[in-house]
């Protein structure tokens, strides 16, 4: 009535070959690219909320670092119109910008940790500069 199964089930419990492993350097590259991409997203969101030439330069430098880690492929980026607008008028916008600076500061700290693990001085310096800039901006926002 039923045809017998001729191939091995994909759900069998027999041991499968070892999955490919990545080296520590490859794992750190992946982590660093992810943290840089998150920092770039927040930087782009800040650029949409409070445009400045300094943020433009930072975003381009971060994008270059990501491209270098991803074999020259440019990171995916959202346009300014795709970021949510601040609710609650001017006070909400100020709070949102301050929160974005705090988030960017945290992400830059993560970039710094991974860059130090990779012994990537240029990226570590970039992360330090971004941390300093976001800390200063967050402190300058009126409470």
Assess if residue 6 is contained within a domain.
no
Assess if residue 44 is contained within a domain.
yes
Assess if residue 42 is contained within a domain.
yes
**0.85 exceeded by the pTM?**
no
The residue segments making up the domain with residue 60 are: 24-73+86-140
What is the percent of the chain with per-residue pLDDT over 90, rounded to a whole number? 55
Q: Is the pLDDT of residue 11 over 70?
A: no
Query: What's the whole-number mean pLDDT along residues 44-53?
Result: 90
Ranges assigned E (strand) in the chain: none
For 123, left (φ over 0), alpha (ψ -120 to 50), or beta?
alpha
Over the stretch 83-118, which tens digit does the pLDDT of each residue have? 555 444 565 678 889 999 999 999 999 999 999 999
Q: Which residues contact 55 (CB under 8 A, 6 or more apart)?
A: 43, 46, 47
Assess if residue 78 is contained within a domain.
no
pLDDT of residue 136: 92
Assess if residue 5 is contained within a domain.
no
Burial of 113 (0-12, 13-18, 19+ CB in 10 A): middle
Total structural domains in the chain? 1
For 63, left (φ over 0), alpha (ψ -120 to 50), or beta?
alpha
Assess if residue 11 is contained within a domain.
no
């Amino acid at each position: 009535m039923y045809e017998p199964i001729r191939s091995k089930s994909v759900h069998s419990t027999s041991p499968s070959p070892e999955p490919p492993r990545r080296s520590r350097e490859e794992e750190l590259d992946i982590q660093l690219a992810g943290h840089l991409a998150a920092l770039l997203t927040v930087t782009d969101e800040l650029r949409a909320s409070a445009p400045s030439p300094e943020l433009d330069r930072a975003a381009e430098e971060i994008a270059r670092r990501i491209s270098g880690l991803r074999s020259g492929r440019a990171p995916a980026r959202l346009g300014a119109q795709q970021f949510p607008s601040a609710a609650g008028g001017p006070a909400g916008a100020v709070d949102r910008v301050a929160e974005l600076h705090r988030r960017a500061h945290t992400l830059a700290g993560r970039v710094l940790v991974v860059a130090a693990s990779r012994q990537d001085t240029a990226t570590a310096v970039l992360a330090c500069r971004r941390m300093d800039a976001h800390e200063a901006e967050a402190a300058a926002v009126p409470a």
